[in-house]
Structure 1
């Protein structure tokens, strides 16, 4: 297991994490041009990918390789997880947990409803964990949900995958004397996003309100918007200090300076695309003008490529 002090650089992270490197072998343009949906490809990559662990602070461990970033909190009597990953990674995740702390799973926090963070809910619940999430996560998991920009319709989740404890704006958990603070964002990536803060170690999981080094996906079908993403990015900046360890939904862990860079990228691209749209340009014309070109080298080489991100932002501006 790696430690935070020797955490992967972005380049080595991409090359070594199977899920991410597999996705990068296919350009974003060809990925979204395929028949079917990228969801099926992401699931297949998770099926093949190793689960990689990194020791964070205190009793926190980062787990990567099954969709979104997972945090395992090790206790004397049990374990708590932040996000469940993709269900095809079940055995690999179970094996890693056993290596770290061979205690039962007691709690699972869903940061939002998306499949790459919550499709492992059912097996984790069967292990004995109570599932905690925002009320909108429960809503979307409980019904058939279409995400147009993924070209995918998700069936209602099985009963064992539905959160049993739902929260509104905020909630606190006392896990073996360790305080964990949950806070709901105004609609951003979705309308179900939660942050998870560990005061004892000053570690904040901001889920998919931050994709570190990548253009983010915005789920307009379930309440997301570019304006909400910018608001969440600004909220994240205000919530941390230079010491805070910040865990994104996707990408390597970072600090306040990384959050600032991400916020500024979103602000500048949103401003540029708003101006072009107001001038009467169609989405195809705006894409052709390459309004993200100054950021593409750093941010545009993952699942959401420059053209796709431009289209997502265009959809959400007046």
Structure 2
């Protein structure tokens, strides 16, 4: 058990180190126009969603604090309206790092209950932060906002990437932001230390699959915009790796044996294993989560 915790803590530290290192690079904010009203902004960290209509602007995630001026400049090329709502899909710093920079009298922050709890803990650990990073509105399971002729549904998915993940679905525009419950084109990072799990991750994606249709545009937490067909293929991949891992566990294989066993994920490593989470880390995560 100590070995499992040590290995997973190392993965978490490497993720944090990767974020810190990436913040030193020069960043360009790029914009994808997904519909007439919904946009995806890519820079460093989690993909930002932006909904803009005649009267309101709704933003999803905000990357890192140091990028806020660039992100604001990019948004200004789309709209000069103030941001009405800023929604955090979960607690990680590459999605919430700019909260204080965007929080204002005209902007209300929203997140799932566990996200606010995590950010409250972050303030305790980092006294230089203040309550400006905290959501003013939090919810347990579901929240619905009505923006003129658009209905925005936010819903909690349990123990997926973390314990506080939420997806946001723009019904009229038929666009869903899945946060880090979907890493398009790459293996996922499942944060077990913060409540994530393999089963919860797969179940979250299946919930999204039931909601969307063949024309839905998916904004992933990381990667390029996606669709139902690609998400379906992704779920098949995760379930196959899960089944292979469970069979190996039943045979009494150890963490080290599963981590080095290329047959468990080998069919997918070329297509999905070149991101931050390489095949070895993925297999380690699957073992750690499923062994529980």
Q: Please, what TM-score do these two structures have when normalized by structure 1?
A: 0.83
Provide the C-alpha distance between the structure 1 equivalents of 2:157 and 2:253, rounded to a whole number of angstroms. Answer: 32
Equivalent residues of 1:105, 1:127 under 8 A apart: no
Equivalent residues of 1:241, 1:256 under 8 A apart: yes
Cross-structure match for 1:207: 179
- Give the 3-state SS of the residue equivalent to 2:201 in structure 1: helix
The CA deviation string for residues 271-298 of structure 1, in whole angstroms up to 9 with x for no partner, is: 1111112212111111221121111000
1:295 maps onto 2:268 in alignment: yes
Equivalent residues of 2:89, 2:167 under 8 A apart: yes
1:17-32 pair list within 5 angstroms: none
Cross-structure match for 1:45: 22
1:1-318 pair list within 5 angstroms: 37-47=14-24, 48-126=26-104, 128-144=106-122, 155=126, 158-290=130-262, 291-318=264-291
Cross-structure match for 1:22: none
Provide the C-alpha distance between the structure 2 equivalents of 1:231 and 1:312, rounded to a whole number of angstroms. Answer: 17
Equivalent residues of 1:135, 1:168 under 8 A apart: yes
Q: Please, what TM-score do these two structures have when normalized by structure 2?
A: 0.90
- Structure 1 range deviating more: 298-307 or 241-250: 241-250
- Aligned pairs, how many? 279
Equivalent residues of 1:189, 1:208 under 8 A apart: yes
Equivalent residues of 2:62, 2:68 under 8 A apart: no
- Give the 3-state SS of the residue equivalent to 1:298 in structure 2: helix
Equivalent residues of 1:77, 1:104 under 8 A apart: no
- Give the 3-state SS of the residue equivalent to 1:142 in structure 2: helix
- Give the 3-state SS of the residue equivalent to 2:51 in structure 1: strand
- Structure 1 range deviating more: 171-180 or 212-221: 171-180
Equivalent residues of 1:104, 1:127 under 8 A apart: no
In the TM superposition, what is the alpha-carbon distance from 1:127 to its structure 2 partner?
6.9
- Structure 1 range deviating more: 257-266 or 67-76: 67-76
In the TM superposition, what is the alpha-carbon distance from 1:265 to its structure 2 partner?
0.7
In the TM superposition, what is the alpha-carbon distance from 1:262 to its structure 2 partner?
0.6
Provide the C-alpha distance between the structure 1 equivalents of 2:35 and 2:229, rounded to a whole number of angstroms. Answer: 19
Equivalent residues of 1:212, 1:254 under 8 A apart: yes
In the TM superposition, what is the alpha-carbon distance from 1:199 to its structure 2 partner?
0.8
The CA deviation string for residues 170-189 of structure 1, in whole angstroms up to 9 with x for no partner, is: 11112244221111112211
- Give the 3-state SS of the residue equivalent to 1:250 in structure 2: coil
Provide the C-alpha distance between the structure 2 equivalents of 1:188 and 1:154, rounded to a whole number of angstroms. Answer: 25
Equivalent residues of 1:122, 1:160 under 8 A apart: yes
CA RMSD of aligned residues (A): 2.1
Segments of 5+ residues of structure 1 without an aligned counterpart are 1-31, 146-152
The CA deviation string for residues 134-153 of structure 1, in whole angstroms up to 9 with x for no partner, is: 001001111149xxxxxxx9
